[in-house]
Amino acid sequence: MTFEQEPANNEQPQRTGAKALHRRWWIWLAAAALLAVCICAYLAEKRKTVSEAARKAQAAAARSVPVVAAPAKKGDIGVYLTGLGTVTPLNTVTVKSRVDGQLMRVLFREGQLVRSGELLAEIDPRPFEVQLTQAEGQMIRDQALLKNAQLDLERYRILSEQDSIAQQQYDTQKSLVRQLEGAVKTDQGQVDSARLQLVYCRITSPLSGRVGLRQVDPGNIIHATDVSGLVVITQQQPIAVIFPVPEDNLPQVLGQLKSGTRLPVEAYDREQKQKLASGYLLTVDNQIDPTTGTVKFKAVFPNQRNELFPNQFVNVRLLVEMKHDTVIVPSSAIQRGPQGTFVYVVASDQSVAVRPVTLGVTEGGDTSISAGLEPGEIIVADGAERLREGSKVEVKEPGNGASRQKGQRSANPQRHGK
């Protein structure tokens, strides 16, 4: 009995192991199937997302973006140097008395515009009139003595020729005549000096300009050695403006001056919106300021309407060169990216294309294009921030802001050389 039951006991473990192996196989198969289902669902969702994004991109591309466009123009644009300048009078004079005396009258108003030679004040002339009378009396006396000595000299000459008098007496008389001639000339100098003092009693303006505040009131005793003087006069027509320019621009400006070219200069207010006056560059300083690396330029303005005032701060624009027949676009059309500067060019099908360009001179709201663009091509001037390569656009008329910018640009004829 024992040997017959052993095979049965061996078959039982084998059946149990087979069942376990079969069960594990089904588990792995179910896991693989579940994983396949998940992958398929993920891929389907991804395809759906991509197709939806593609549809949105196509819809966005098909939608027209409203923009403001402008044609690239061919014209002239100036190369300007700018700086903050100080209005400086060409001449400033402190009017002082040249004689001592009492100030009798002041004939000018503070702040008045006066002309050269115009009477400003008068000093009491009576002391100098007395000096003139004394000098004239002394000269008359010496002239009478001289005349009598000359008559005696003529008599002595005749007697000397006849050997009637000694030669020494004749020579003494000649010496007396020369002494009296010197005395008369000295008297003439005293008379002229007294007359000059009388002239100095009338204080006149040495130049045309604007008088400042009065320093001395009538009735005071003034002296030629007074420090403050009577009044300060500044010349305002013409007037100068001194402004610094970087030393790197000096060779270009000196080259223009050596050729005899008169470089125009414009003065603007602090906000650089209102043009105050127009003039020309007069000269350049003889040294560079080592602390700032700039050199001082001096411009002259006619200032016929007194637009500029001494010590006023103005923004100066110096036209160094005018570039002719260059492509000009609005500065707002210039875009910048990793590939450099570019513009959006509007095609005939109302789509835009990216066009790399090389920039030239920028002046105000305009920029010249050295390469990459031809005159007449339509470019996007406003609204380019929403554009991409191939985007559809809807060109609109410029608004009031653009119209104002056009008006500002056309107000300055030198900007485009028209």
263 shares its domain with 391 = yes
Q: Which helix (H) or strand (E) holds 177?
A: helix 167-200
In a domain, 290, yes or no: yes
- Separation in Å, CA 79 to CA 65, 95, 253, 282, 333: 35, 43, 11, 19, 20
The per-residue pLDDT for 50 is 56
Domain that holds residue 154: 132-189
CA distance 13 to 306: 121
The per-residue pLDDT for 11 is 52
In a domain, 353, yes or no: yes
Name the token pair of 30.
Answer: 């179910």
166 shares its domain with 295 = no
In a domain, 42, yes or no: no
Place of tokens 């010349």: 235
Q: Which residue, among 302, 306, 313, 307, has the nearest Cα to 112 in the 3D structure?
A: 306
CATH number at residue 181: 1.10.287.470
285 shares its domain with 181 = no
CA distance 104 to 220: 8
Q: Which residue, among 416, 418, 414, has the nearest Cα to 319 in the 3D structure?
A: 414
CB atoms within 10 A of CB 192: 12
Asked whether 213 and 110 are in contact (CB, 8 A), the reply is yes
358 shares its domain with 304 = yes
264 shares its domain with 404 = yes
367 shares its domain with 247 = yes
282 shares its domain with 411 = yes
180 shares its domain with 242 = no
CB atoms within 10 A of CB 143: 16
179 shares its domain with 263 = no
176 shares its domain with 81 = no
Name the token pair of 269.
Answer: 């207010």
In a domain, 154, yes or no: yes
DSSP label of 257: H
The per-residue pLDDT for 19 is 59
CB atoms within 10 A of CB 282: 19
The per-residue pLDDT for 414 is 37
In a domain, 300, yes or no: yes
The whole-number mean pLDDT for each consecutive block of 10 residues of the chain, a chain of 418 residues, reads 45 56 68 75 68 58 78 87 93 94 94 94 95 95 94 90 87 93 95 95 94 94 92 94 93 87 92 91 93 94 92 93 87 86 88 88 84 88 84 73 37 37
CATH number at residue 368: 2.40.30.170
The per-residue pLDDT for 405 is 37
270 shares its domain with 142 = no
CB atoms within 10 A of CB 85: 26
In a domain, 343, yes or no: yes
The per-residue pLDDT for 396 is 80
241 shares its domain with 308 = yes
Asked whether 76 and 414 are in contact (CB, 8 A), the reply is no
Last-in-domain residue among 124, 156, 189: 189
The per-residue pLDDT for 370 is 85
In a domain, 224, yes or no: no
Asked whether 86 and 242 are in contact (CB, 8 A), the reply is yes
Domain count, the chain: 2
The per-residue pLDDT for 407 is 36
In a domain, 208, yes or no: no
Q: Which residue, among 362, 363, 357, has the nearest Cα to 336 in the 3D structure?
A: 357
The per-residue pLDDT for 287 is 93
